[in-house]
Amino acid sequence: SSQSGDAATAVRSALRDLGLDSDSDEAGATAVSAEGPALDEQLRKKAEQRSRAANLSYFAFTATPKAKTLELFGTLQDIDGKATYRPFHTYSMRQAIEEGFILDPLRNYVTYNTYWKLVNQN
């Protein structure tokens, strides 16, 4: 799940309902007491709503999948007369950076040569 997706929304909603979301726009949202049976009941209900379905699984893959992973989860395609397994979906690093889920490792990249010149310019 993502930080702007359903899971994050549900967590923020649950925290807001309990008055524990420090980013809440509602006045006094953090002043609610987080104790007692009422809190336990609210948390139990939220947990029940978020319980997993017996027939549902989530898989997430990062980086470049190994050949075995592609065989298990990829789709078989004929490329130039050769059977090849390809990912059924691609979540690129560029997309993750654009959506703000990861930082761009090259954003502040400076070669050693350039760094040396900058430091020793004076």
Per the domain annotation, does 72 fall within a domain? Answer: yes
Per the domain annotation, does 38 fall within a domain? Answer: yes
Give residue 39's domain range: 6-49
Per the domain annotation, does 54 fall within a domain? Answer: no
Q: What was the pLDDT predicted at 37?
A: 75
Per the domain annotation, does 56 fall within a domain? Answer: no
Show the CA angle centred on residue 121, arms to residues 118 and 122, nearest 5°. 130
Average pLDDT (87-95) is 85
Q: What was the pLDDT predicted at 84?
A: 92
- Residues 44, 69, single domain; the answer is no
- Residues 71, 98, single domain; the answer is yes
Q: What is the 3-state secondary structure (H, E, C) of 55-69?
A: CCCCCCCCCCCCHHH
- Residues 76, 100, single domain; the answer is yes
Cβ(50)–Cβ(58) below 8 Å: no
To the nearest 10°, the Cα dihedral for 17, 20, 26, 28?
Answer: 120
**Position 7 pLDDT exceeds 80:** no
Per the domain annotation, does 108 fall within a domain? Answer: yes
Per the domain annotation, does 97 fall within a domain? Answer: yes
Per the domain annotation, does 59 fall within a domain? Answer: no
- Residues 73, 102, single domain; the answer is yes
For 88, residues 6+ apart whose C-beta sits below 8 A from its C-beta are 73, 74, 75
- Residues 45, 72, single domain; the answer is no
Describe the chain by its helix, strand, coil percentages, rounded to 5.
40, 10, 50
Alpha-carbon gap, residue 122 to 111, rounded angstroms: 19
- Residues 40, 81, single domain; the answer is no
**pTM of the predicted model, to two decimals?**
0.36
Number of domains in the chain: 2
Cβ(33)–Cβ(25) below 8 Å: no
Residues 33-82: tens digit of each pLDDT = 556 677 788 888 877 777 666 776 666 556 678 889 899 988 999 989 99
